[in-house]
């Protein structure tokens, strides 16, 4: 066996699907094996891989053992002369492996090599080549000098920015995203150190390969796409802590006590500093828009209250002082919570979510208002006026941001993504139909083929891509991997880095289309999901339903006590749902492995079968009901199931 490709997977089903498509093409003329080690994914990866890729050897773990241990599992079962450690969020060229094998065959002194990596927009990824994190190198990296002076031999040494990215170089550290290793070298230096859970293991292994007398090479003869997707969130606390702690583990293992103390002195404050910045940024990102909305609504009441007082108290008088500083904030709190549950703060921005959020919040406020004593009922009109002002001010603010072309505030209701599909007619049609069924509201401009077809939707050839993008003002290019090679995709991405456009790739026979906008973003994903229960807006809506119905059932419990079965259990279930331990409606569960392919939700007191009058339901229909419930979630479905199954809430 010449090559063993080892991929560690953790909840990146659609990424690994695309990765495996490219890998199997790349090993077509090589004696090779592909081993996937799954770290207890819950996204049905382990169902998809054997179905779509039966030649791939799958090792299923019952826990997340981390990157190093999982790779070691694959290495121990491998038989190849060369070992490739490959990330699942990568796409390799058809000749990448042949070129790497050729280079290593010609350079017996080479223990391992890495390649040129680009992100989903064609931008070079600097971690393709790195230096050891010595105390001084780490200092320049931690405190940002390497970012300010990337090509400096002194300050930019961490990413070796002074070395030409288009030439092959001997380097100290290779990236674990693509690490092509001579197995004899690996047998000499040992496997990955399992003390490193997710980061740093590539630095450690690269160092040990060098120390054993081998050389590490950055090989510029081939290029791969690395999305830096789901498992890498650079702004997260987990990333900051894991990345810098990995540096400490490496320093303690390989450096002198003096150097370790120096590095520890630098890194520990850096962890707290970066973590603090991360917390502040994430907090501001989450609260700044609701905070602006609060100011807008409250600002409206500063004018609405005195105006309505002048209309109501014509002979003088006003509402209590506390109205503006206690009652209005209570209204605003209800509106903001309702806006959150209605998905107003999700992307893309949708005006109808504002209407829904303010509408539901207003109904709640009016319902509570009706229950208050007369002395605390001030004015229904001010509630209605406040709701109208909220709808117009919040919508108007977002519309202004949309007009100003602020990208994160593009209105989903108004913005159509202008898309060109690169592929042959049949596959381009399949991909366009898939796009129409997603939630992105596409405007498909046409397709580009390698050769002109004369068909109406064909708008040009692949070698005219740049001109076509400029003429049609396209926002996004989707490459059909069935017709266009990865080499052609990468060449076009590299040639068009000066154009601000997004790229995605559609694997053959897949329902997913994957791409990424930058090194710091998770991969973007289009797939047919209609209105799945897994969407964050639906999860919030479902939780909102659970809360409201729990309160209603709690109030009605003395009456329901006369009719429901298992009354004590029913009361306990109301409390469990109220505090989020259960949901009123979940899947029908028939064994411990049931519903693995469906989005994860809380265990339900009731299930979709309770929405039917007939109770003797075949097993196959129960499975189908679960699928239908998960695929197209509606608030009304939960209400119908709860209403029909009300007598059984004591289960």
Answer yes or no: is 490 within a domain. Answer: yes
Which one of 90-104, 236-250, 320-334, 501-515 scores highest in mean pLDDT?
90-104
Q: List the domain range (segments joined by +) for residue 58.
A: 3-121+168-229
Q: What percent of the chain has pLDDT over 90?
A: 34
Higher pLDDT, 596 or 184: 184
Query: Which pLDDT value is given to residue 529?
Result: 46
Which one of 193-202, 318-327, 379-388, 414-423 scores highest in mean pLDDT?
379-388
What are the tens digits of pLDDT across the range 20-50? 999 999 999 999 999 999 998 877 788 889 9
Answer yes or no: is 517 within a domain. Answer: yes
Q: Is the pLDDT of residue 217 over 90?
A: yes
Answer yes or no: is 272 within a domain. Answer: no
Co-location of 505 and 556 in the same domain: no
Answer yes or no: is 447 within a domain. Answer: yes
The residue-averaged pLDDT of 192-205 equals 78
Pairwise CA distance, residues 483 & 448, whole Å: 11
Co-location of 404 and 541 in the same domain: no
Residue 638's nearest CA partner among 545, 576, 514 is 545
Co-location of 209 and 293 in the same domain: no
Co-location of 369 and 463 in the same domain: no
Co-location of 518 and 561 in the same domain: no
Answer yes or no: is 239 within a domain. Answer: no
Query: Which pLDDT value is given to residue 369?
Result: 87
Query: Which pLDDT value is given to residue 588?
Result: 85
Co-location of 425 and 547 in the same domain: no
Co-location of 580 and 601 in the same domain: yes
Residue 465 belongs to what H/E stretch? helix 465-472
Q: How many structural domains compose the chain?
A: 4
How many beta carbons lie within 10 A of that of residue 219, not counting itself?
25
Query: Which of residues 481, 502, 527 is at a domain's end?
Result: 527
Q: Is the pLDDT of residue 421 over 90?
A: yes
Q: Is the pLDDT of residue 272 over 80?
A: no
The residue-averaged pLDDT of 512-535 equals 55
Co-location of 375 and 325 in the same domain: yes
Which residue(s) pair with 503 in the sheet?
477
Co-location of 493 and 566 in the same domain: no
Residue 36 belongs to what H/E stretch? strand 32-38
Contact 452, 482 (CB under 8 A): no
User: Comparing 29-38, 214-223, 262-271, 330-339, which segment has the lowest mean pLDDT?
Assistant: 262-271
Pairwise CA distance, residues 545 & 530, whole Å: 20
Phi, psi of 183 (to 5 degrees): -65, -35
Co-location of 288 and 403 in the same domain: yes
Contact 249, 242 (CB under 8 A): no
Residue 444's nearest CA partner among 476, 471, 466 is 476
What are the tens digits of pLDDT across the range 346-399? 877 888 889 989 998 999 899 888 888 887 888 899 999 999 999 999 999 998
Q: Is the pLDDT of residue 303 over 90?
A: yes
Q: What is the CATH number of the domain that holds 92?
A: 3.90.550.10
Query: Which of residues 408, 431, 451 is at a domain's end?
Result: 408
Answer yes or no: is 518 within a domain. Answer: yes
- Tell me the torsion sign for CA atoms 450, 453, 455, 456: positive
Pairwise CA distance, residues 228 & 177, whole Å: 9
604-606 and 458-461 as β-strands: parallel, antiparallel, unpaired?
unpaired
Co-location of 521 and 617 in the same domain: no
Answer yes or no: is 15 within a domain. Answer: yes
Co-location of 509 and 542 in the same domain: no
Query: Which of residues 378, 408, 438 is at a domain's end?
Result: 408
Q: Is the pLDDT of residue 109 over 80?
A: yes
Answer yes or no: is 30 within a domain. Answer: yes
């Amino acid at each position: 066996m010449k090559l063993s490709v080892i991929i560690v997977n953790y909840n990146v089903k659609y990424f690994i699907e695309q990765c495996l498509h490219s890998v199997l093409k790349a090993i077509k003329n090589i004696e090779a094996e592909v081993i996937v080690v799954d770290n207890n994914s819950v996204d049905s990866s382990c169902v998809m891989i054997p179905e779509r890729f039966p030649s791939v050897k799958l090792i299923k773990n019952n826990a997340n053992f981390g990157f190093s241990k999982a790779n070691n599992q694959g290495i121990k079962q491998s038989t190849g002369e060369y070992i490739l450690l490959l990330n699942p969020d990568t796409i390799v060229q058809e000749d990448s492996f042949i070129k790497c094998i050729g280079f290593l065959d010609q350079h017996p002194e080479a223990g391992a090599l890495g390649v040129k990596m680009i992100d989903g927009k064609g931008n070079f990824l600097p971690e393709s080549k790195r230096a050891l994190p010595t105390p001084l190198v780490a200092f320049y990296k931690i405190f940002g000098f390497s970012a300010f002076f990337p090509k400096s031999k002194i300050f930019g040494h961490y990413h070796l920015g002074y070395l030409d990215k288009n030439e092959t170089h001997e380097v100290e550290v290779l990236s674990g995203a693509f690490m092509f290793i001579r197995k004899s070298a690996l047998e000499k230096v040992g496997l990955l150190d399992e003390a490193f859970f997710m980061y740093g293991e590539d630095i450690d292994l690269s160092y040990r390969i060098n120390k054993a007398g081998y050389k590490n090479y950055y090989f510029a003869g081939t290029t791969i796409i690395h999305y830096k997707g789901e498992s890498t969130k650079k702004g997260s606390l987990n990333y900051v802590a894991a990345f810098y702690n990995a540096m400490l583990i490496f320093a303690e293992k390989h450096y002198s006590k003096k150097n370790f103390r120096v590095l520890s002195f630098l890194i520990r404050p850096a962890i707290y500093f970066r973590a603090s910045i991360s917390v502040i940024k994430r907090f501001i990102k989450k609260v700044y828009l609701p905070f602006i909305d609060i100011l807008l609504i409250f600002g409206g009441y500063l004018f609405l209250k005195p105006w309505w007082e002048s209309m109501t108290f014509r002979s003088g008088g006003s509402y209590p002082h506390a109205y503006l500083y206690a009652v209005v904030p209570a209204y605003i709190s209800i509106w903001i919570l309702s806006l959150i549950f209605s998905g107003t703060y999700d992307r893309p921005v949708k005006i109808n979510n504002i209407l829904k959020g303010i509408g539901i919040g207003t109904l709640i406020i009016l319902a509570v208002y009706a229950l208050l004593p007369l002395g605390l009922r001030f004015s229904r009109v001010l509630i209605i006026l406040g709701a109208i002002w909220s709808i117009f001010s919040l919508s108007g603010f977002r519309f202004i941001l949309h007009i100003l072309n602020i990208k994160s505030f593009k209105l989903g209701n108004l913005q159509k993504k202008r898309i060109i599909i690169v592929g042959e007619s049949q596959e381009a049609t399949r991909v366009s139909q898939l796009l129409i069924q997603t939630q992105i509201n596409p405007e498909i401009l046409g397709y580009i083929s390698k050769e002109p077809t004369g068909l109406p939707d064909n708008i040009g050839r692949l070698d005219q891509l740049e001109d076509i993008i400029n003429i049609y003002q396209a926002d996004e290019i989707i490459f059909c991997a069935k017709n266009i090679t990865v080499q052609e995709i990468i060449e076009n991405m590299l040639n068009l880095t000066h154009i601000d456009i997004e790229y995605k790739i559609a694997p053959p026979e897949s329902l997913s289309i994957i791409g990424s906008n930058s090194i710091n973003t998770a991969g973007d994903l289009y797939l047919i999901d209609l209105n799945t229960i897994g969407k964050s807006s639906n999860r919030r809506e479902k939780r909102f339903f659970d809360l409201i119905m729990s309160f209603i059932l709690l109030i009605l419990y003395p009456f329901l006590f006369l009719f429901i079965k298992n009354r004590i259990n029913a009361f306990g279930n109301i409390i469990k749902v109220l505090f989020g331990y259960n949901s009123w409606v979940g899947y029908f569960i028939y064994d411990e492995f049931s519903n693995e392919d469906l989005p994860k939700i809380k265990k339900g007191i009731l299930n979709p079968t309770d929405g039917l009058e007939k109770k003797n339901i075949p097993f196959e229909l129960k499975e189908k009901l679960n699928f239908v419930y998960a695929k197209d979630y509606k608030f009304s479905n939960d209400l119908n199931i709860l209403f029909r199954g009300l007598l059984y809430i004591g289960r």
